Amino acid sequence: MRVFQVENAWSMENVRMNTRPDPQPKAGQVRLKMKASALNYRDIIVPVRGYGSRMKTLPLIMLSDGLGIVESIGDGVTQFNIGDRVCPLFFQSWISGPPDKQKLSLSLGCETDGTMAEYMVLSEQGVAHAPDHLDDIEAATIGSAGVTAWRTLVTEGGIRPGDKVLVLGTGGVSLFALQFAKMLGAMVIITSSNNDKLARARTMGADETINYLDIPEWGRRAREIAGGDGVDHVVEVGGEGTLPQSLRAVRTGGTISLIGVLSGGNMNIPLGPVVTRHVRMQGITVGNRDDFTAMAAAIGTHKIKPAIDRIFAFDELRAALEYMVGGRHFGKICIKH
């Protein structure tokens, strides 16, 4: 089978297409014919061994998100039938409950091989049914970005109708957060440096938008828009460069969910206001199978469609990664197998 993997040494130059033997399912496993994959920001960090010694030894098949068709099943499989459309789960060992070291120890495209292969063999516990109304490309996007947004706002965030949510940026997680927050009845403010992207976010339901280049004190502006003390919840993707403004935007007793560090990974905020204003700072790393199942049911019920920016061919993975580095995308970058 064809695969796209990091091989020989950790570098972007060593991300190459190659072949491996076709895998066969054992007891409790399913074999998937992969139809699509989707990129996440982590996929430009993986080739340079950005997650350190925990990563699988080379070669490593790339990407964590995808959609496949169950083609064959091993003995004892009860949850799936041949022909089912399923998504591989980001964490293969986090089925339910709160996270711990073991549950977070086996993610696709990092500690174990990912979705950029013609076939995958996984435990039946490591896949879940895709929403019926999504096509293969759309369904491939929900495993990481969708689950991250869901766990941020629903599992951990408890968002309620009337809450005010500030979402940073227009990448995959951010746009899923916009859609889920609106589904839950929240008021949503979204930021970007691009007015065209902000206009597109409004068509997806954003109530207010802020161009952070035009308004450098965007945290103060978000507080003004929210009225009163500030927003209830911030979906934080920037980290070091954006946390000070996020702290200005959030209300006393509110929550900042840190799901990315695009602007730097160090803490550079005054901690006094975090304490005296009782602000909750919550780290989010995707979620578990239960999160995926609940999210998929909600996506199906509300007929939510992910924002797809661009689709590349299987042999164009390197070009897709370069496109992601450029930061011009709105929503998800995908691979058709």
Two tokens, residue 148 = 């991250």
Cβ partners under 8 Å of residue 103, min gap 6 = 91, 93, 94, 95, 97, 288
Residue 69 identity: I
Q: Of 214, 220, 212, 206, which Cα lies nearest the Cα of 238?
A: 212
Distance of CA 144 to the CA centre of its chain: 3
CB atoms closer than 10 angstroms to residue 311: 16
Regions of the chain where pLDDT drops below 50 = 263
Q: Which long-range contacts (CB under 8 A, 24 or more apart) does 292-295 make?
A: 292/87, 292/89, 292/128, 292/142, 292/143, 292/146, 292/147, 292/150, 293/128, 294/150, 294/154, 294/155, 295/142, 295/146, 295/147, 295/150, 295/154, 295/180
Q: Are 34 and 79 in contact (CB under 8 A)?
A: no
- Which tens digit of pLDDT belongs to each residue from 97-132? 999 999 999 999 999 999 999 999 999 999 999 999
β-strand pairing of 60-61 with 208-211: unpaired
Q: What is the pLDDT of residue 276?
A: 79
Domains annotated on the chain, with CATH: 2-144+287-336 (3.90.180.10), 157-283 (3.40.50.720)
Two tokens, residue 180 = 């889920």
Report how far residue 212's alpha carbon sits from residue 191's, in angstroms, rounded to the nearest whole number: 6
Q: What is the pLDDT of residue 330?
A: 96
Q: What is the pLDDT of residue 62?
A: 98
- Helix-then-strand count for the chain, H and E: 9, 16
Max CA pair span of the chain: 61
Q: What is the pLDDT of residue 267?
A: 65
Two tokens, residue 14 = 């060593």
- Which tens digit of pLDDT belongs to each residue from 67-85? 999 999 999 999 999 999 9
Q: Of 102, 86, 89, which Cα lies nearest the Cα of 146?
A: 89
Q: What is the pLDDT of residue 239?
A: 77
Q: What is the pLDDT of residue 274?
A: 81
Report how far residue 274's alpha carbon sits from residue 234's, in angstroms, rounded to the nearest whole number: 14
DSSP 3-state of 182: helix
